[in-house]
Amino acid sequence: MTSIAASERLTLSALLEGQTAAHLVVAADDLGWWQQLMRREEKIVPTTGLQRALARALHRFGWLAPDGDGYRLTEDGHEIAFNRGFVRVTTRGWEPTFRQIGSAAATADIVPAQTDPDAVARGCTDIALRHPETLQAIAARVAQDTEPGSTVDLGCADGGRLQIIGEFGHTEQLIGVDIEAGVIDTARERLAGLGFADRVRLRAGSVQPGDELPAWLDEGIRSDVTTAMSFNLMHQLASDGGGIDAVLGAWLDWFPNVRRFVIGDVVRSAGVQWHEQPWFAPTFEIYHELTGVRVWRDDEYADAFASLGFRVAEHLDKDHEAMMVWIAER
Ligand SMILES: C[S@@+](CC[C@H](N)C(=O)[O-])C[C@H]1O[C@@H](n2cnc3c(N)ncnc32)[C@H](O)[C@@H]1O
């Protein structure tokens, strides 16, 4: 057993206060505070007793600084605000799964993932919006195609990524598919509100390959798709579906005219102990081990593209140490 240096141990204090802080970060996000505070010139002014208590607590954690009748963001607070999507996904999105573990562990090897789909969708979109340049790079590639095409987002959640692709690529047609009908409704609202209604098709259904073509895959979508993208879902689909190459291979059958895959996912990190890994990686890996889902290595994604005759045109890894995006073309 390797011992963990005292300075790297997860302390009891961090365990307890961290959980309280995470709930308060999500509450402040529900009030729209982080977004408001990130516009540097703005401060928030609490107007109720609850808001004043919340703001005082965030001040005690070091993330807000008092300023006249309100509060501004500190440097540490900026990092929290910038990454609040991770806090929402882990605190609210995955909480239903973590809650079951103790009771299931007596008899079961894994616990089925149970999520709050809206919290996962909103958190994931907030994560994506932190680095619009990643999606800008994808839109720029798509724009290089001699003929405009259609980009499908497989597991599109509330449509946040389609929104950015649509904003940068003015002629691209957009298609989104997600297994959660509720988040597809949110995506429809979001994209219609931004004026994309006439160039977006949204479908509720599974993108997990099976023996038959999925019901949502009509002939129009089949032949139109030229770019197939999927973010933060492949690890799960590949675990259930015989590997990354098997999933990509099935999608090639679904979309015969696809020129490009854009896959984004969290990769397995080299470290074992939590302090040897970038933040979020231990939580991601533990959550998936508990739910029986593999987390795949960077080279396993690269091998899968190569095995299907796709060349990695871009490998984007500036967002987070454990989050990669591959643009693979043929
Ligand atoms: C971790 S979230 C990622 C959301 C989004 N792609 C992103 O990265 O911003 C996974 C999404 O995939 C959806 N999903 C899970 N299993 C699916 C399946 N078999 N088919 C289609 N969507 C699925 C979930 O509802 C959720 O919206």
What the block records as the tokens of 181 is 């009908």
* pLDDT by residue, tens only, the chain of 330 residues: 567 888 888 999 999 999 999 999 999 999 999 999 999 789 999 999 999 999 999 999 999 999 999 999 999 999 999 999 999 999 999 999 999 999 999 999 999 999 999 999 999 999 999 999 999 999 999 988 888 899 999 999 999 999 999 988 778 899 999 999 999 999 999 999 999 999 999 999 999 999 999 999 999 999 999 999 999 999 999 999 999 999 999 999 999 999 999 999 999 999 989 999 999 999 999 999 999 999 999 999 999 999 999 999 999 998 999 999 999 999
- Which is the closest atom of ligand 1 to the Cα of 89? 1
**What angle separates helix 117-130 from helix 181-193, to the nearest 10 degrees?**
40
| Residue 178 near ligand 1, beta carbon < 6 Å | yes
The CA-atom distances, in angstroms, between 45 and each of 24, 32, 54, 66, 194 are: 16, 12, 11, 10, 29
Nearest CA to ligand 1 atom 27: 157
Q: How far is CA 216 from the centre of its chain?
A: 23
Nearest CA to ligand 1 atom 3: 232
| Residue 120 near ligand 1, beta carbon < 6 Å | yes
What pairs with residue 202 in β-bridges?
176
Instruction: Write down the architecture of domain 117-329 according to CATH.
Output: 3-Layer(aba) Sandwich (3.40)
Nearest CA to ligand 1 atom 16: 179
| Residue 180 near ligand 1, beta carbon < 6 Å | yes
- Which is the closest atom of ligand 1 to the Cα of 237? 19
In tens, the pLDDT along 162-215 reads: 999 998 877 889 999 999 999 999 999 999 999 999 999 999 999 999 999 999
CA angle in degrees (0–180, nearest 5) for 211-202-84: 105
Question: Which of 88, 115, 233, 283 for mutating ligand 1's site (highest number of atoms within 8 Å of CB)?
Answer: 233
Nearest CA to ligand 1 atom 1: 232
Only one residue has tokens 């300075």, namely 7
What the block records as the tokens of 301 is 């994604």
CA of 86 to the centre of ligand 1 (A): 15
Question: Which of 156, 178, 254 for mutating ligand 1's site (highest number of atoms within 8 Å of CB)?
Answer: 178
| Residue 37 near residue 43 (C-beta atoms within 8 A) | yes
| Residue 324 near residue 297 (C-beta atoms within 8 A) | no
Only one residue has tokens 């206060």, namely 17
| Residue 125 near ligand 1, beta carbon < 6 Å | yes
| Residue 323 near ligand 1, beta carbon < 6 Å | no
- Three-state SS across the chain? CCCCCHHHCCCHHHHHHHHHHHHHHHHHHHCCHHHHHHCCCCCECCCCHHHHHHHHHHHHCCCEEEECCEEEECHHHHHHHHCHHHHHHHHHHCHHHHHHHHHHCCCCCCCCCCCCHHHHHHHHHHHHHHCHHHHHHHHHHHHCCCCCCEEEEECCCCCHHHHHHHHHCCCCEEEEEECCHHHHHHHHHHHHHCCCHHHEEEEECCCCCCCCCCCCCCHHHHHHEEEEEEECCHHHHHHHCCCHHHHHHHHHHHCCCCCEEEEEEECCCCCCCHHHCCCCHHHHHHHHHHCCCCCCCHHHHHHHHHHCCCEEEEEEEEEECCEEEEEEEC
| Residue 121 near ligand 1, beta carbon < 6 Å | yes
What pairs with residue 67 in β-bridges?
70
What the block records as the tokens of 293 is 């889902």
| Residue 85 near ligand 1, beta carbon < 6 Å | no
| Residue 92 near residue 30 (C-beta atoms within 8 A) | no
What the block records as the tokens of 55 is 């703001």
Nearest CA to ligand 1 atom 12: 155
What is the pTM assigned to this prediction? 0.95
- Which is the closest atom of ligand 1 to the Cα of 207? 20
Sign of the torsion formed by the C-alpha atoms of 242, 237, 313 and 149 = positive
Q: Taking the domains of the chain in order of start, what are their residue ranges?
A: 6-81, 117-329
| Residue 128 near ligand 1, beta carbon < 6 Å | yes
Question: Which of 179, 185, 186, 263 for mutating ligand 1's site (highest number of atoms within 8 Å of CB)?
Answer: 179
> Per this entry, what is the length of the chain?
330
| Residue 116 near ligand 1, beta carbon < 6 Å | no
Q: Count other Cβ atoms within 10 Å, centred on residue 129.
A: 15
| Residue 206 near ligand 1, beta carbon < 6 Å | yes
What span, in angstroms and rounded, lies between the C-alpha atoms of 246 and 237?
10
Only one residue has tokens 């080299």, namely 270
In tens, the pLDDT along 10-49 reads: 999 999 999 999 999 999 999 999 999 999 789 999 999 9
Instruction: Write down the architecture of domain 6-81 according to CATH.
Output: Orthogonal Bundle (1.10)
Only one residue has tokens 């961090």, namely 14
